[in-house]
Amino acid sequence: MDNIYYCDMQTEYGNSLEKKFRKLLAASGYFDEITKGQIVALKVHVGERENLGYVNPNFARVIVEELKARGARPYLTDTNTLYSGGRHNGVDHCITAEQHGFGYAAVGAPFVPADGVRGLAYREVEVQGKHFQKTKLANGVLEAEKIIFLTHFKGHMEAGFGGSLKNLSMGCASIAGKMEQHAAAKPVVKLKACVGCRQCYRVCPVEAISMVEGKAVIDYDVCIGCGQCVAACNYGAMSAGSASETAEFIEKVSEYAYSAYDYFGENALYINFAMNITPDCDCWPANDVPVVEDIGILIGRNPFALDRATLDMVNSAKARSSSRHFEKIRGEHGVFHEVWDIPVIGTVFDHAQALFGVELEYETQKLS
């Protein structure tokens, strides 16, 4: 049974959200284990350019302050993206981090691209999985003595939801590792629904989509399965692929997540920020209206139990009537299942539990 500490969003004079956050950090016991001189990574997601839904960098600043008070040497890090954009290489990634408030002047620690300038700096880590025997994880996270994961909990058009497990799997993987996970999850065009708006054509990072007689056509020899076209389509003409492909993708995410989790062991701390719970990943260059009301911040040492606890709270939260997905949310199958029509969201937990025996039971303790 894993202990999950959390706080809600209610504040008052003298008890701000920042103060409540510091209480969570103290309750975790993690900072009592920090020793002088330790190099500690803060695994963040700085958000794609034009996206403003990512975790507020002031939470990173608070953690940096707590670490420095104990003599540690913190840095912020993330891996480069498979798709082209503001984080595809180390140079652009650093610029985006600075623009979004994750620079040294604001946070008090430098941002270091985890897999180098071109995404080639990684090591293979063993895992006894169904799909992988080795994973390709970035040097910049593996070389830290301690690591703290700051995760914006939100939806994801292929995985259903993105939490600490997604931050472990895709977030710690090199570009080659991301490609391995995405390989089987290729989008499918529903030709009857396609109106020829060309939005998928415009956002495809590898030019795998062409227009034939006013309909989108995907070249699967070129497609990298990044899911950008699925998020771009406003007409339901792009789906994330068959259930079997989606299930395989989530299983691969689960194995990569376990590989990193097992590697870090007790040296890691996981924090889920269940606020501004958008339907899309922060990799998308826009952020839509949240699908449910804000919940708060959750913290724990087991990312599988933490994501399970967070997802349970999200599924119990009140849907936001201003969300474009409001009519889909009926409270019958879980919020993100209904938003993205992905019936295999549980696979990430089921696969890890069956294959690796991870603990999913949790006990929550609310801090005020």
CB 79 within 8 A of CB 171: yes
Torsion 305-307-308-314 (CA) sign: positive
> Which residue type does 233 have?
C
- Could you tell me which residue, 131 or 84, shows the higher pLDDT? 131
pLDDT at 241 over 80: no
From CA 44, how far away is CA 94, in angstroms rounded?
Answer: 12
pLDDT average, residue stretch 291-316: 97
In this prediction, residue 171 carries a pLDDT of 97
pLDDT average, residue stretch 120-142: 96
From CA 154, how far away is CA 290, in angstroms rounded?
Answer: 9
Considering the segment(s) 2-185+243-366 as one domain, its CATH architecture is 3-Layer(aba) Sandwich (3.40)
CB 121 within 8 A of CB 176: no
pLDDT digits (tens, 9 = 90+) for 133-159: 999 999 999 999 999 999 999 998 888
Highest mean pLDDT among 171-175, 268-272, 323-327, 328-332: 268-272
pLDDT digits (tens, 9 = 90+) for 86-105: 998 999 999 999 999 999 99
How far is the CA of 94 from the CAs of 75, 80, 104, 111, 340, in angstroms?
A: 13, 10, 11, 7, 32
CB 35 within 8 A of CB 70: yes
From CA 364, how far away is CA 305, in angstroms rounded?
Answer: 10
CB 310 within 8 A of CB 153: yes
In this prediction, residue 227 carries a pLDDT of 74
* H or E stretch at 35: none
* H or E stretch at 326: none
Quickly count: other Cβ atoms within 10 Å of residue 277's Cβ: 25
Q: Identify which of 275, 161, 179 has the alpha carbon closest to the alpha carbon of residue 226.
A: 179
pLDDT average, residue stretch 232-249: 79
pLDDT digits (tens, 9 = 90+) for 3-19: 999 999 999 999 999 99
In this prediction, residue 235 carries a pLDDT of 86
Quickly count: other Cβ atoms within 10 Å of residue 128's Cβ: 12
pLDDT bracket for residue 344 (50, 70, 90): low
Report the predicted TM-score, pTM, of the whole model to 2 decimal places: 0.89
Mean pLDDT, the chain, whole residue set:
93
In this prediction, residue 2 carries a pLDDT of 93
In this prediction, residue 321 carries a pLDDT of 95
From CA 143, how far away is CA 102, in angstroms rounded?
Answer: 21
Fold held by 186-239: Alpha-Beta Plaits (3.30.70)
CB 293 within 8 A of CB 266: no
pLDDT average, residue stretch 109-114: 98
From CA 179, how far away is CA 168, in angstroms rounded?
Answer: 15
* H or E stretch at 151: strand 146-152
pLDDT average, residue stretch 189-195: 94
CB 362 within 8 A of CB 2: yes
CB 132 within 8 A of CB 173: no
DSSP code at position 214:
T
pLDDT at 130 over 90: yes
pLDDT average, residue stretch 229-241: 79
Lowest mean pLDDT among 29-33, 122-126, 192-196, 344-348: 344-348
pLDDT at 263 over 70: yes
**Paired sense of beta strands 111-113 and 134-138, if any:** unpaired
pLDDT digits (tens, 9 = 90+) for 37-66: 999 999 999 999 999 999 999 999 999 999
pLDDT at 211 over 80: yes
In this prediction, residue 52 carries a pLDDT of 95
pLDDT average, residue stretch 220-236: 82
pLDDT at 343 over 70: no
pLDDT at 182 over 90: no
Q: Where are the domains of the chain?
A: 2-185+243-366, 186-239
Q: Identify which of 99, 51, 150, 202 has the alpha carbon closest to the alpha carbon of residue 91.
A: 99
Tokens of 241: 């692929």
In this prediction, residue 230 carries a pLDDT of 78
In this prediction, residue 314 carries a pLDDT of 96
CB 329 within 8 A of CB 341: no
Tokens of 254: 């689960």
* Secondary structure class of 305 (helix, strand, coil): helix
Over its C-alpha atoms, the chain yields an Rg (Å, rounded) of 20
In this prediction, residue 333 carries a pLDDT of 85
In this prediction, residue 172 carries a pLDDT of 98
Burial grade of 322 (CB within 10 A; 0-12, 13-18, 19 or more)? exposed
pLDDT at 234 over 80: no
